[in-house]
Amino acid sequence: MKKFLKWTGIVLLSLVLIVLLTAWYFSSSFNNKFEKVYSLKPAPVSIPTDSASIARGKVLSVGCAGCHGPDLGGKVFFDDPNIGVLPSSNLTRAVGSETEGYTDEDFVRAMRHGLNKKGNPLMVMPSESIGELSDQDLGCLIAYMKSLPPIDRKFEKRHFTFMSQVLAGAGMFGNLFPYDIIEHDKRKNLNAPPIGNSPEYGEYIVRSHGCKGCHAANFGGGKSPDPVSPPVPNISASGNAGKWTKEQFVSFFKTGKTPDGRLPNPQFMPWEGLGALPDVEIESVYNYIQSLPPAAKQQ
């Protein structure tokens, strides 16, 4: 009996040790990534100073407000005792903020390459799509941010609890760092097709607004990368929205209301960013989606 207890004890202790070592391994592999400093010099983008360009930048910034707050002064993206804290940075270059002392190059590095000023990889920030903006549009957006009055709002530094470090390190949350999926060499001298309602221009808008990241490459929909989001609908010609007229499509993005009267939650379907663009640019997205083959119906 004594011998049996002794062996059970040894086995249990070894199991606990293995679990602890595994947890430690996953948490440190997450932290190594989180704290890693990448040195990357982005290709320069020229930043305009005229009022028309700043006005274009303001229009392009509407989609940022959903995460960075209506005044772009940042907000707490999540603060959960079980997960940790992630602020979506204050973008106004205020003293003590994440963007204090940000240069033009720092803005390009964050938006095109997914790295903060220090070179740490950013999380949640959708640089994989925003970084597809043309040099001209990106220049306007940066010009607009530089024109903002500094907003004095400070946050706790981003951090994660041990448990979420372990889960993240084990890959339970999927890929968390856009830096890892961006083709950095291609992120230079980017041009957009001429502004208009052509499908080519629509493809540019879709690419720089991340529609496919949620609606899938063929617009057939599926699961959202956000675990608490409702399922993502098929918006290709075979889906519900694929049957809308061009006017109904534009009206949805202007008002947030579908032709049948539904109001999709902007937290899960970020319609405001596209809705802020002139009608022709929204039409280009419709024309692009309609130019593609309908996605195979689900179920």
Which stretches of the chain bind ligand HEC, using CB under 6 A? 63-64, 66-68, 77, 86, 88-89, 91, 98-99, 107, 110-111, 116-117, 122-126, 130, 141, 158, 206, 209-211, 213-215, 224, 229-230, 232-233, 235, 240-241, 252, 258, 264-265, 268-270, 274, 285
Angle between the N-to-C axes of helices 162-169 and 2-35, in degrees from 0 to 180, rounded to the nearest 10: 80
Q: Smallest distance from the beta carbon of 282 to ligand HEC, in angstroms? A: 8
Residue (218 or 224) nearer to ligand HEC, CB: 224
Report the C-alpha gap between 63 and 70 in whole angstroms: 10
Q: Smallest distance from the beta carbon of 13 to ligand HEC, in angstroms? A: 38
87 SS3 class? strand
Residue (28 or 265) nearer to ligand HEC, CB: 265
Q: Smallest distance from the beta carbon of 124 to ligand HEC, in angstroms? A: 4
Q: Smallest distance from the beta carbon of 81 to ligand HEC, in angstroms? A: 19
For residue 273, which amino acid is it?
G
Residue (9 or 231) nearer to ligand HEC, CB: 231
Question: Is residue 68 within 8 Å of residue 93, measured between CB atoms?
Answer: no
Name the H helices within the chain.
Answer: 2-35, 51-60, 62-68, 104-113, 127-130, 135-146, 162-169, 199-209, 211-215, 246-255, 272-275, 279-290
Residue (24 or 237) nearer to ligand HEC, CB: 237
Residue (139 or 270) nearer to ligand HEC, CB: 270
Q: Smallest distance from the beta carbon of 20 to ligand HEC, in angstroms? A: 28
- Report which of 104, 119, 130, 102 is spatially closest to residue 187, judged by C-alpha positions: 130
Kindly tell me the number of DSSP H helices and DSSP E strands found in the chain. 12, 3
